[in-house]
């Protein structure tokens, strides 16, 4: 499968060859539970991996386990019960399975796990510098569609979320790429859904630089809303029974989107195959 150009929006393209691809899933909504990984989590890691394969490049997948723990109170889960190690293994198993179904060669996969000491220390090192470039006022509404949105301003969780936002932004900066990952920013392509656009660009714009981005629409639920942010009853997760997956997949619609990603394979086929890889006979 070759994803057509209509599926993606290319921003700030330069003439440098792509040697590295970065992207990944927002795992916080799985609340530390591997079986709560969703169809969107899979797609948000599969798409950058496919693009990396097309460029014969490695893919670096963000896995923000540290920030998910920071948000545990807000998202109502017990950080002591979180199992991000298994979650990462299951997500990788889903990526490997999906690319095999699509007959796409698997590129080298490197995880940028923010709980790992080296990665966390690099983030801690660069955040103070990022704060000197980006005042907190610039971060309000960072992930909102509406231009006048101001979240998390004035909320109880404001300081915690701003801390998370600065850490998120740091992951995209040329300083982090060149020091923590030791890859040249100018040869890097970010493949992310449109929700991440401002978080990627905000620092580059502030310092007068460009970066290469390939954006796509987030996986939609039945109502056309981003699956991870929409009604939980419309979310397709690993923990569902086969019958529940079939039922929700049949109602989801948006066939053009999911057929573009999975080709002739159905959502139910992909999710069930992923389940069998990680849950075996328990699925």
- Per-residue pLDDT of 85-97, as tens digits, reads 999 999 999 999 9
Mean pLDDT of 193-205: 97
Q: What is the pLDDT of residues 5-46, one digit of tens each?
A: 789 999 977 778 999 999 999 999 999 999 999 999 999 999
The sign of the CA dihedral 78, 150, 193, 173 is: negative
Number of structural domains (the chain) is: 1
pLDDT at 194: 96
**Cβ-contact 142, 202 below 8 angstroms:** yes
The Cα 275–Cα 36 span in angstroms is 11
- Position 103 pLDDT exceeds 60: yes
* 12: containing domain: 5-282
Q: What is the CATH number of the domain that holds 276?
A: 3.40.50.620
pLDDT band at 4 (very low <50, low <70, confident <90, very high): low
**pTM score over 0.85:** yes
Q: Look-up: residue for tokens 């019958």?
A: 243
The Cα 20–Cα 22 span in angstroms is 7
């Amino acid at each position: 499968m070759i994803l057509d150009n209509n599926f993606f929006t290319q921003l700030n393209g330069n003439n440098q060859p792509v040697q590295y691809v970065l992207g990944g899933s927002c795992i916080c909504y799985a609340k530390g539970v591997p079986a709560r990984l969703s169809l969107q989590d899979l797609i948000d890691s599969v798409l950058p991996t496919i693009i990396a394969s097309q460029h014969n490049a490695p893919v670096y997948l963000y896995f923000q386990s540290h920030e998910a723990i920071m948000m545990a109170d807000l998202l109502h889960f017990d950080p002591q019960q979180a199992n991000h190690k298994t979650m990462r293994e299951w997500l990788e198993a889903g990526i490997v399975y999906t690319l095999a179904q699509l007959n796409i060669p698997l590129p080298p996969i490197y995880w940028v796990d923010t709980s790992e000491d080296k990665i966390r220390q690099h983030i801690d090192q660069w955040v103070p510098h990022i704060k000197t470039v980006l005042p907190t006022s610039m971060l309000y509404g960072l992930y909102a569609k509406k231009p006048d949105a101001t979240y998390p301003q004035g909320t109880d969780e404001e300081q915690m979320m701003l801390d998370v936002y600065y850490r998120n932004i740091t992951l995209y900066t040329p300083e982090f790429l060149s020091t923590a990952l030791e890859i040249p920013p100018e040869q890097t392509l970010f493949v992310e859904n449109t929700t991440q656009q401002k978080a990627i660009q905000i620092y580059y714009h502030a310092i007068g630089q460009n970066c290469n981005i390939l954006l796509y629409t987030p996986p939609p639920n039945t109502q056309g809303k981003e699956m991870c942010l929409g009604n939980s009853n419309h979310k397709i997760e690993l923990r569902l029974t086969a019958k529940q997956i079939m039922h929700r997949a049949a109602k989801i619609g948006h066939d053009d989107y999911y057929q573009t990603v999975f080709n002739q394979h159905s959502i139910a086929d992909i999710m069930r195959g992923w389940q069998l890889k990680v849950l075996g006979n328990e699925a």
